[in-house]
Structure 1
Amino acid sequence: MTPRPATPAGTLVLDCEGLAKAVLRDRTVTRWLALASADDMQVITSSATLVEVVHPEINMPALKWTLSRVVVQPVTQAIAHRAGDLLRDAGLHGHKYAIDAMLAATALAAPGPVTVLTSDPSDLIALCGKRLTAVKV
């Protein structure tokens, strides 16, 4: 049996990989989602992540079903400015890290503590430091 991940009250954020694995009903991500639900945690993603997750082989009905259980936060002007600040502060370029920065800004605007399920925790740590927990999925 896989150990149960600790989920504090707060917000669970799905990046592209977290969302893609939720669509595929990956066991680890499914367990995180179940624990978030049991703990009344908000589960969110960025609208920018929706663009990143779509590819020719994605199961669109499964994606739509998954999204019906996730709050999709818009990329507002305030989020865009915060993403730009995060990029600048981290010394990163928007060309490569734009979507990560928008997700990071969205996560930092959510009620904490915040946990992000991601394929690359190092990108989020570079952008956010210790202001959130990045978990590799």
Structure 2
Amino acid sequence: MTNRIETVVLDSQGVSAWISQDRGVLAMLRSFHTMAADLVVCSNTIVEVAHARVNTPRLNWILSQVKVEAVTEQAARAAAALLKQAGLHGHKYAIDATVAEMALRQPGPVAVLTSDVDDMAKLCGTRVRLVGI
């Protein structure tokens, strides 16, 4: 990562990869740590990654290492506007939209670690750096 990043947003796949200690994601997180970037997770992401087989103690530890942003009514309305602008439906893209909205209001430059680069590009445009995982 050569460009300075102020904030790193992790989507559900980013958090899941951190939980499973994926070497590539851990290397990226170390790189962002050396930049003193803030790590941020949308509260909806917690719902998305929580399931019967998740390592709950590890998830809880990870959540203690990041800033968790709530989805407020104002954030939900802004996410709905992003969906409308992108021509996407909330039934399928609601969580992605809340993550995108949250990423767009973080101190920049912002990077989003995501497995949904195409969908996030539709929602964020070029205002954030998308890092595929």
User: TM above 0.5, one fold?
Assistant: yes
- Match of residue 59 from structure 1: 55
User: 1:104 aligned to 2:100?
Assistant: yes
Deviation of 1:71 after TM superposition, in Å, equals 0.7
The aligned length equals 133
User: Does structure 1 residue 8 correspond to structure 2 residue 4?
Assistant: yes
> Is 1:70 paired with 2:66?
yes
Q: Which runs of 5+ in 1 are unaligned?
A: none
Rounded to whole Å, the distance in 2 between the matches of 1:18 and 1:97 is 17
CA contact (8 A) 1:118 1:135 kept: yes
- SS of 2:65's equivalent in the other structure is coil
Partner residue in 1 for 2:131: 135
Asked whether the 8 Å contact 2:17–2:25 carries over to 1, the reply is yes
Farther off after superposition, 70-79 or 43-52: 70-79
Q: What's the counterpart of residue 28 of structure 2? A: 32
Instruction: Tell me which residue corresponds to 1:46.
Output: 42
- What 5-or-longer segments of structure 2 have no aligned partner? none
Q: Is the 8 A contact 2:5 2:111 kept in 1?
A: no
- Residue 38 of structure 2 is aligned to residue 81 of structure 1: no
CA distance in 2, matches of 1:115, 1:126: 15
Q: Which amino acid aligns with 1:76?
A: T
Percent identity reads 44
Instruction: Show the counterpart of 2:14.
Output: 18
- SS of the residue 1:130 aligns to: coil
The Cα shift of 1:7 comes to 4.9
Pairwise CA distance, 1:59: 0.4
4+ aligned runs moved over 6 Å, structure 1: none
**Conserved in 1, the CA contact under 8 Å of 2:43 and 2:68?**
yes
- Which SS does the other structure have where 2:112 is aligned? strand
The TM-score with structure 1 as length reference comes to 0.93
State the SS of the aligned residue for 2:68.
Answer: strand
RMSD: 1.0
Indicate which of 66, 76, 87 corresponds to 1:91: 87
